Amino acid sequence: MRTAFIRALLELAENDERIYLIVGDLGYSVVERFAQRFPSRYLNVGVAEQNMTGIAAGMALSGKVVFTYSIANFPTLRCLEQIRNDVCYHEADVKIVSIGGGLAYGALGMTHHATEDLAIMRALPGMVAVAPGDPIEAEGATRAIAGQSGPCYLRLGKAGEPNVHAPGTHFSLGKAITVREGDDVTLIATGGLLYNTVKVAEQLSLNGLEARVLSMHTLKPLDTESILAAASQTSAIVTVEEHSLIGGLGSAVAEVLAELGGRKPPLTRLALRSGFVPEVGSQDYLRETEGLSVNGILRSLQRVLQSVEK
């Protein structure tokens, strides 16, 4: 996803001299192309994320569109006060880009896990929160937030994520993408687990259950229409995310359903348990231990699927 991001950012910067990139001494092998092409619009502030965010806010208030970039926990949690007070309060055109959302940096331990970021970012006033599901969405999201006025948060994977969509798939902030049609159950995914969710739907189809798959790439603003349609047209809703059970996609969908009158389908939230992940290992390994692999998701769905079959 980060390759798709930097490719889109370079194209945007070619046509808009307001676009700047600030990094916190990270991103090597990715950001060099921008630094070389636009040296006067690139700044490495060092390991100083609070300064990075304050500088970005000041530049944005001077008419720039500023992207900050680092491993997911650093440009969010380490400088949360600056994001809230400098960026959000002033409605500044700062686009916070995090790499390695969820457990992508699993081998570095819990200090590098980004498992609460979406909950925190979507709670901030004026913040747009986006977690694309594949490189196609990542490129579309980069272009979309560049044109979106005010603060934005873009949560990307690390590298090597497969394409789920065909090139040219339309991306619009606040509008989920229907990846697969189905009338039995709706699977709603955000971020890098979209691929696993599609694979789960394919396995369910072999057993005679047709799952609708929605890529809810934007958590704020949320596509409530797609959620309400799923609630009225399918027998159950399942959310899938590489994020804490508290405050992320599952919570956002639950908020919509809680205010829905009349029939409400059962909701199952598949996410990381509320707590630190103590294991250390690759992202695939940690997804397996947390029940977010394809087989893990299928195991968790057994009770839901039995009720749908009845």
Q: Identify whether the C-beta of residue 147 lies closer than 8 Å to the C-beta of residue 109.
A: no
pLDDT digits (tens, 9 = 90+) for 174-217: 999 999 999 999 999 999 999 999 999 999 999 899 999 999 99
Per-residue pLDDT, 28: 79
Cβ neighbour number for residue 139 with a 10 Å cutoff: 23
Per-residue pLDDT, 30: 87
9: helix, coil or strand?
A: helix
Radius of gyration of the chain (CA): 19
Strands 128-130 and 218-220: antiparallel
| CA angle (161 as vertex; 158, 166 as ends), nearest 5 | 135
**Rounded Cα distance, 75 and 23, in Å:** 9
**Residue spans per domain, the chain:** 2-155, 177-309
Per-residue pLDDT, 143: 98
Q: Which helix (H) or strand (E) holds 56?
A: helix 49-60
178: helix, coil or strand?
A: strand
Per-residue pLDDT, 26: 83
Per-residue pLDDT, 27: 75
| CA angle (45 as vertex; 43, 49 as ends), nearest 5 | 125
Residues 219, 217, 23, 9, CA torsion sign: negative
- Do domains 2-155 and 177-309 share one topology? The answer is yes
Q: Which residue has the tokens 């005679």?
A: 208
Which CATH number, 3.40.605.10, 3.90.180.10, 3.40.50.970, 2.60.260.20, labels domain 2-155? Answer: 3.40.50.970
The set of residues, in sequence order, having a beta carbon less than 8 Å from that of 168 and lying 6+ positions away, is: none
CA distances from 151 to 69, 76, 83, 127, 223 (A): 14, 12, 9, 5, 19
CATH class of the domain whose range is 177-309: alpha beta
Question: Which residue ranges of the chain lie beneath pLDDT 50?
Answer: none
Across 10-26, b (16+ Cβ under 10 Å) vs e yields eebbeeeebbbbbbbeb
Per-residue pLDDT, 259: 92
Nearest residue to 132 via CA among 106, 153, 104: 153
